[in-house]
Amino acid sequence: MAMANNKTVCFICNEEKITYPCKGCSKEFCFMDLAKHKQILNEELHHITDEYNECKQTINEQKHNPQNHSLIKQIDQWEIDSIQKIQQKAQECREIFIKSSETCINDIEMKFNDVNQQIKQFQKENEFNEINLNYLRNQLRKITEELNNPSNMFIQQNPQSFINDISITFPKKPKWDKWKQNAITVAGGNGEGQELNQLSRPFGIFIDGKKNIFVADFWNHRIIEWKHNAKEGKIIAGANGRGNQIDQLNCPTDVIFDQQSRSTIIADQGNRRVIQWLNQNQQILIDNIDCWGLAMDKHGFLYVSDYMKNEVRRWKMGEYDNEGIVAAGGNDKGNQLNQLHAPTFIFVDENESVYVSDVNNHRVMKWRKDAKEGTVVAGGNGQGRNLNQLFYPQGIIVDDLGQTYVADSYNHRVMRWREGKEEGEIVVGGSGEGNQSNQLHRLCGLSFDNEGNLYVADHFNHRIQKFDIIL
């Protein structure tokens, strides 16, 4: 009976030998090369120790000699430059004053000589009265005032400083940073259905100030509101089945609640219209539009994405009888910076910049107000699951620091992209497709409440998940 072969290929010498595994790198080494591998590890540890000692020395230097910090040197240099500017400006003003003063003195001397000639004339002729004396007195007074207070010169201070101001600023800390990885179901979660405790393929969501959840219940053709901590929802729009009548909806994709008018605005995607519901009264705001996502800025302008025209337009509230203004895209379908390809969900920040889920380009675009093209703020490296990629992004939110949160739909995760970074980070999800509390399945809408808790429309699990913030 032949002896079993217990030899494997050594990672270093590439020969079949009896090898020993290294748990750190999961590679196999023969006895001789294992010693070499250990030596390499020792050398790396030595380098790390050197780096540690250098770092420790820098800490001690900054601790005992904070004046040597580079920022202190910048402040010192600013002080020197500013003093030089002040001294230079002061000298320029002195030279201007002296030159002008010489001209002024010469002029006063001429007037003074005229008065002197008149005094001598009166003395010589010995013929004068009170009128002549008052005249001479007034002339001398005027000359003295002009000498002490030149009327053509004064100091003017410009409130706009010609010296660059400086101040110490600290980077903002994120208001919200981490969330529990196991979510709580706050709407739906009782299987797919049309009962009041069920949802069917939820798309967009909106959370109001009281933590009430408004859901675009896509396949149930309705908007349903779940009060905070409620066990079931209440239909507030589209309770009459699928259709195109004024009191019906057809596959709504997004919803926002207008706090000012206390009305619900709906992207009635299947009926190609944006419709407003106020109690049980309906009004079509925009017709003949392949709408998908909705947003409203601080001035009350309404933004709507058109996934067929590959654009986002905005309208002033109450003025929907025009074509609106293009806020993003509008240059046909494509992947250039001035183009979009099937835009869906949108977000508008405090500066009226529009963020767009550019779905078929697997990226999120940011268009500043009145810009001719956008910039990529998430994804843009083709579809995929790497940290620099997205796979059919949907819902988006942007926080106060300009960090973009993306429903990375086909990767079943929520990503956060810090502005200027080439890669994102997984916020929640990312544990594969599933229906466990730490999993998502083709997520769509995203929203925060006023405490920073994260809500996700878990599309194929027919539920809304709440990920509590970790304080």
Domain boundary among the residues 109, 144, 169 is at 169
Residues 402-442 pLDDT 10s: 999 999 999 999 999 998 889 999 999 999 999 999 999 99
Q: Give a yes or no: residue 25 inside a domain.
A: no
How far apart are the two ends of the chain, measured CA to CA in Å? Answer: 66
Statement to judge: residues 267 and 354 lie in one domain: yes
In a domain, 17, yes or no: no
Mean pLDDT of the chain: 89
Give yes or no: residues 132 and 188 share one domain: no
Is residue 398 situated within a structural domain?
Answer: yes
pLDDT of residue 192: 96
Residues 314-324, mean pLDDT to the nearest whole number = 90
pLDDT, one tens digit per residue, over 244-272 is 999 999 999 999 998 888 899 999 999 99
Where is the domain boundary, 169, 204, 232? 169
Output the CA angle 47-48-50, nearest 5 degrees. 65
Q: What is the pLDDT of residue 120?
A: 81
Q: 136 with 285, same domain?
A: no
Same-domain pairing of 286 and 331 = yes
In terms of domains, do 103 and 233 share one? no
Q: Which two tokens stand for residue 453?
A: 């808790």
Strands 311-315 and 325-329: antiparallel
% of the chain beyond a pLDDT of 90: 56
Task: Check which CATH number belongs to the domain holding 256 and give it.
Answer: 2.120.10.30
**Helices marked H in 16-128:** 31-64, 70-125
- Asked if the structure places residue 35 within a domain, the reply is no
48 belongs to a structural domain: no
Q: What is the DSSP string of 387-429?
A: TT-BSSEEEEEE-TT--EEEEEGGGTEEEEE-TT-SS-EEEEE
Q: Name the token pair of 137.
A: 């007195």
Distance CA 103, CA 321 (A): 70
Return the minimum-mean-pLDDT range out of 147-161, 165-179, 229-243, 265-279.
Answer: 147-161
Q: Do 292 and 325 belong together in one domain?
A: yes
Q: Would you give the DSSP letter of residue 242?
A: B
Average pLDDT over residues 304-318: 95
Domain that holds residue 440: 178-470
Same domain, 304 and 376: yes
Assigned token pair, 455: 């809500």
- Non-local CB neighbours of 17 within 8 Å, separated by 6+ positions: 7, 8, 10, 30, 31
Query: Where do we find the tokens 């800390």?
Result: 173
Q: How confident is the model at residue 148 (pLDDT cuts 50, 70, 90)?
A: confident
Kindly state whether residues 212 and 103 are assigned to the same domain: no
Residue 112 lies in a domain: yes
Max CA separation in the chain (angstroms): 156
Q: Name the percent of the chain in helix, strand, coil, to the closest 5.
A: 25, 30, 40
187 class by beta-carbon count within 10 Å (0-12 exposed, 13-18 middle, 19+ buried):
buried
Q: Which tokens go with 162?
A: 């010609």
Same domain for 318 and 264?
yes
For the stretch 437-466, pLDDT in tens is: 999 999 999 999 999 999 999 999 999 999
Residue 54 inside a domain? The answer is: no
204/137 same-domain check: no
**What token pair was written down for 391?**
């796979």
> Is 190 found in the same domain as 152?
no
Give residues with Cβ within 8 angstroms of 225, minimum separation 6. 212, 213, 214, 215, 233, 234, 236
pLDDT for 167:
67
Beta-strand pair 463-467/469-470: unpaired
* Torsion of the alpha carbons at 65, 66, 67 and 69, rounded to the nearest 10: 110
Phi-psi category of 382—alpha, beta or left, where left has phi over 0 and alpha has psi -120 to 50? left
Same domain for 217 and 362, yes or no, is: yes
Split into its structural domains, the chain has a count of 2
Of 145, 169, 193, which closes a domain?
Answer: 169
Whether the model clears a pTM of 0.75, i.e. scores above it, the answer is no
